[in-house]
Every structure is written in structure tokens, then in C-alpha cells.
Amino acid sequence: MTNSKLLFSLLLAGSVGTVSAQSLKDARAAIEAENYGKAKTILQQLVTKQPKNGDNYFYLGQVYLVNDRADSAAAIFNQGLTADPKATINNVGLGYVDLLKKDKAGAESKFALATAKLGKKDYEPLLEIGRAYIETPEPDYAKALEYLTQAKAKNTKDIAIPLALGDAYRGLREGSLAYTSYGDAMDIDQNSVKAKVGQAIIVRGAQAYDEAVTQLEAIAAETPAYAPTYRELAETYYQWSRMPGTTDEKYLELNKKGVAQYKKYLEAAGDNSLEAKIRYADFLVYSRQYDELQTVSEELAKNPSVDPKIYRYLGYNAFQKTKDYPKALEYLNQMFSKMEKDRVIPLDYMYLGMAEIATNSPKPAAAGADSTATAPVLTPENTANIQKGIANIKKAIDGDKELLGEVAELAFAKYQEQELQTAVSLFGLVGEYKDTPYYFDSHYYAGEGSYQIGFKKDTQAKDAEGNYVNQDLRNQAIADFANAQKELTIIETTDNKEAQDKYLINALYYKAFSALGSDDMAQPKGDFVAPFQKLIDTINQRGTQEKNKAYLVDGYTYIGLFHYLKQDTAKAKQNFQKVLEIDPANEDVKGYLEALK
């Protein structure tokens, strides 16, 4: 995907050559309307009929870029250079491909070739280089301005130049200059819908999404046949839905509106090609509209050889809709094996990692199942695959920090579904990023979840008499308890008041029980005593004794039990009596006190 995350709308009328003007004009008109399927057909015919015209290759290559086929585009550009060495604008296309591959040096070298022998009125390569720097996934708007300013000095009549300048200034958040540039475009053509749309997008850039929608809807009503307006409306709704604090209901509402606008876009563009459907599926991926994606992907699956992206859609659906994690993993592995590396997006790594973790994690017991039944044990292969999954999700987050929120949401969902191993792995990963708003939530739930996993394994490692009969499972439980203590210590030691108010007491409780679970009560070391005592002190200091009676009872009981086992009668009695002050009917503690007489 390009920087707009929707389409690569690189081309406008009036930028390259005049040879075979009528036919090329038709192709460029189709591109202007974003009917790329029609444009591709016309340009393929032009290349066949006029194989020596390098401009035809340039436009055809651009259509391939729109469809995210950089390698195919590069092949077309090279054919153009071979067929017509004077059409050096194809070097601009090759330079853009280098930018897509993050080869800036290679791009600059090809741009230099394209501009080395320009005449006084030759501005088209400068314009296209400017656009390339705007539309690359890692834009360089300052570089774009350099080339576009040179293009403007050579030609003040081509509307494409001020339109591109407006895009560059908008990227630099120079709203006033962007607005002026779009105004310059309307001075050339007062009916330029693209200029009006550009001005509306400036408003969107200021996060005034409701106003942007109002302006774009007015433009669509005035010129309903201009397809790109609907695409920008779809993008506006998508960006609006990603605003912090958006409720789930609002998110769903906004993206449904976005999907409706994208459907209008496809209808207005008149592009029924398979590539157009793939671009629609891309939009559904970014807007997380999995119900609609399922419908589209089932249709696209009839042509799996057309584009490896189809396996992306099938994989995402298998994960989200049917929760068939092994199938999701199979589809995504197919995608990775078939797709060029530069076409892979961070979200692909996230879903690949999630599928690896979910496929290899022990599944929760069925409702009503015997909790003492043999637990599924993580094999070394499972463990290795889970770690590989975590590494892939980390790669996704490093590529797009916005995915942190989605990984956190998935972690919470897995936690609620009691897929605790998956949830803990994800919470642990999110907790590595201190600047995320989920930092403390992730550490707390990673800790509590690790305790629960360890408790279940510890229980299942024992026979009916409480003797350990599965040492491997016991060792796993101890490791889980240790991880719980590590994660919960983050909550215990922070000075973040909000995190402490929200989690401290529970964190101390589960930390204490994790230490208890790790101990050997036949010969206790007593590492659980300090966290239980801190739990008691914290509850008393905060004046929340009534709310936390059960925690106080557990704390005093286990501290008393430790001293009881160590034959420290005075301390044992002291703590057991504290229990009876809170819970006078506690028969277990009464039994211990009776034994101490």
C-alpha cells in the first residue's frame, strides 16, 4: 500500500508526451477516473501497436504500480527504455520502484539519469519525480518540493504541477501553502474536482473529520461521476475510526460508512477488474471489515494464482472469523512463500505471528471438564513456534507502532477466551514498549495470566494425594510462577498512581501466591511471606479492609502457616488470631491454633 493506504493515485492528465495523443489521452482519462482496468487494456494495446513509443510503457508501468506489482512495473519500464532509449522518463518509474524497496541511493541515481539532458521546456520527469517522493511509503516532501518547483519554473500551465505541490505542502502540514497551490490549480481549471478534493483533505489532515466529510460529500453531490471523491471519503471514515478514544460501536459505524463509500467509488470508477477487487480487499484489511472481507475473499479465492494477496485475505478470515488457526497459518505461509518481500505489510507479520502462537498454544479445557485432567504439554517444537510467532509480531509492531493497540486488544480477547498462553505471550510483548498506553495493563495481565497457567499446571502435576507425579509439568509451573512475579513487580515498583490504584493490591496478591506456588511446603523457604505482608500493609494503609477481607484472610493464613511449619509458635498464633478477627468461623485456622496449644 502507498502512503494513503488506499490507492496510488500518481497520475493526472497532461504529463507525458503527445505521441498517439488520442489513444494515450483515452488511457490517461481512464487513469484520471481511476478506472485502472480500462487504462491497462488500452495501454497494453498501445504497447503492441506502437512498440517504439516509450511513453506508453511508462503509463502502463504506473498502472502496475497502482496494483502493487512493483516487479512487473520495473519490467515494463525497462522494456520502455529498450524500445525507446530517449524516453528516459521510464527511469523515473524505475527510481520509484527503488523507493518502494527503500533503496534511496538507487532511486536518486535513476532520477539523475532521467533529468540529465532536459531541454528548457522539459518538465515532465521533474513532475513525476516529485510525485514519486510524495507517494512513496516513506515520503520525502522536501525533496518533492525541490523537483516540483523546478517543474513549475518550466511550465505554469499544466494543472498537474500545482496539484502535486498542494499534495507536497499538505504532507509537510503547511495547510495554507497547500490550499494556495490547490487554488492555483483552479486558476488553470476552475472546474478541477481534484483541486477541490485536495482542499477538503487539508481539513482532514487537521483531524476535523466531520468537516472533511461534509466538504467531500458536497463535492460528490456536485460531481457524482468523479470516483476519487468517494475513495477519499472512505479513507476519511477509516482515519476517523482510528482516533484514540473511539468506542467499538463508533469504530464499527465509521468503517461501515467507509465501506459504503468505497463501493460507490468502484461503481463510479467503472472498474470491474480483478485488480480493483483486490484493491477493495486491501481497504477492507486496513479498515478491519472482516465480514465484508470474507465475502470478497471467497470470490477472489477462485483465482488464487492471480495475486498472492488472496492468501492474505483468506488467512486473516480464517483467524478472525472461523478461528481456524492452523488454516490461517497455512494460508499466510503460502502468501509469504509466493509474495515479493517488499509487498509484505506489517499486519501480515502480526497475523502470521498470531497464527503461530494460537496454533501451538495449549487449548483451554472444555466447559465442565475435569480440572485435574492431564494438561496439554508444550513440546519443544510448540515452544519454538510460539517464540517465532512472538518475533513476527514484534517485527510487525516495529514496522507499524499503531499495531500495538491491536495486539493489546487481541491479547485481551484471548484472555477472555481463556487462551491464556497466547494472551500472556502477547501481553509480554506489548509490555516491552514503555510508550504504549497499555504498558501497565499488559504487565498486570501477563502476571496474573502466568499465575493462572502455573496454578493449573501445578495442580495437574499432582496425584489425588497431592504428591507430584509429573516433574516436567511442575518445572513448567515454577517457570510460570517466576514469570508472574517478574511481571507483577513492574506494578509493585512503579510510581504511576493510576496503575497502582488500579492494580497494586491484586498484583501483590498474585505475586504472593506465585511465590507460594514455587515454594516447597515440606521445607518452605518463605519467599511468599514478604509479598503477603506487603499485601496486608497496603490494604491497611489504603483503608480498604472491608473490600479486601478475603485477601487479608489469605495473607495472614499463609504467613501464619509458614511460622507454624517453622515452629515459631508466637508468630504463628499472632497471624492466625488476625484471621479469626476477620473471619471468626474459619475452621482451618482454628485447627492450627488448637494444634499449637
Closest CA to 533 of 478, 581, 495, 574: 574
In this structure, the number of other CB atoms found within 10 A of the CB of residue 27 comes to 25
What's this model's pTM, rounded to 2 decimal places? 0.74
What DSSP line would sit under 138-168, residue for residue?
S--HHHHHHHHHHHHHH-SS-THHHHHHHHH
Same fold: 1-190 with 522-597: yes
Q: Do residues 438 and 416 make contact, with C-beta atoms less than 8 angstroms apart? A: no
Q: What are the residue ranges spanned by the domains of the chain?
A: 1-190, 522-597
- Condensed to tens digits (0 to 9), the pLDDT of residues 254-283 reads 999 999 999 999 999 988 888 899 999 999
Q: Do residues 166 and 195 make contact, with C-beta atoms less than 8 angstroms apart? A: yes
- Condensed to tens digits (0 to 9), the pLDDT of residues 376-422 reads 556 788 888 888 998 999 999 999 988 998 899 889 988 998 888 88
- Condensed to tens digits (0 to 9), the pLDDT of residues 415-470 reads 998 888 888 989 999 999 998 899 999 999 999 999 999 999 999 999 998 899 99
DSSP bridge partners of 468:
462
Distances from the Cα of 318 to the Cαs of 280, 296, 332, 362, 541, in angstroms?
19, 14, 10, 19, 50
- Condensed to tens digits (0 to 9), the pLDDT of residues 112-170 reads 999 998 888 899 999 999 999 999 989 999 999 999 999 999 999 999 999 999 999 99
CA pair distance 568, 564, nearest whole angstrom: 6
Write out the three cell numbers for 94. Answer: 524505475
Superfamily of domain 1-190: Tetratricopeptide repeat domain (1.25.40.10)
State the number of CA atoms in the 13 A half-sphere of 180 facing the CB.
Answer: 5
Percent of the chain past pLDDT 70, that is, above it, reads 93
In this structure, the number of other CB atoms found within 10 A of the CB of residue 549 comes to 13
Query: For domain 522-597, which architecture applies?
Result: Alpha Horseshoe (1.25)
Closest CA to 257 of 283, 275, 221: 283
DSSP bridge partners of 577:
none
